[in-house]
Amino acid sequence: MKQQTKVLYEKMVDFKRFGTVLLAVGIFFYFGVIIPVVTKTEFTLNLMVLASTSFIALSILFFIQAKQCQLKLLEIDENEDLYN
C-alpha cells in the first residue's frame, strides 16, 4: 500500500511540474502574439496563437491529472485511517 501511495504521489508531483512548464511556455508564446513587431506575418501570428492555446490546454489537462492523483491519495489516506 505504501508503494502505491509513493508512486501516486510522484505522479502528482510530475503532473504539476509538467503543467507549470507548459503554462510558462504557453505564456511566452502569448507574449509573442501581443508584442508588436513589424516582421510578423499572418501565418506566424496564427501559429503562435495555436501554440499558445495548445500549451495552455495541455497545462490544464496536466493540472487536472494532478488533482485526480491528489484526490486518490486522500481517499487512500482516509481508508488507512478507518482500518487503523
Q: Is residue 20 part of a domain?
A: yes
Q: Is residue 62 part of a domain?
A: yes
Q: Is residue 84 part of a domain?
A: no
> Cell numbers 487503523 correspond to what residue?
84
Q: What local confidence, expressed as pLDDT, does residue 84 receive?
A: 62
Q: Is residue 16 part of a domain?
A: yes
Mean pLDDT calculated for residue range 49-75: 96
d(CA 8, CA 32): 36
Contact at 8 Å (CB) between 30 and 74?
A: no
pTM listed for this prediction: 0.86
Number of compact structural domains in the chain: 1
Quick check: 40 pLDDT over 90? no
Supply the range of the domain harboring residue 21.
2-79
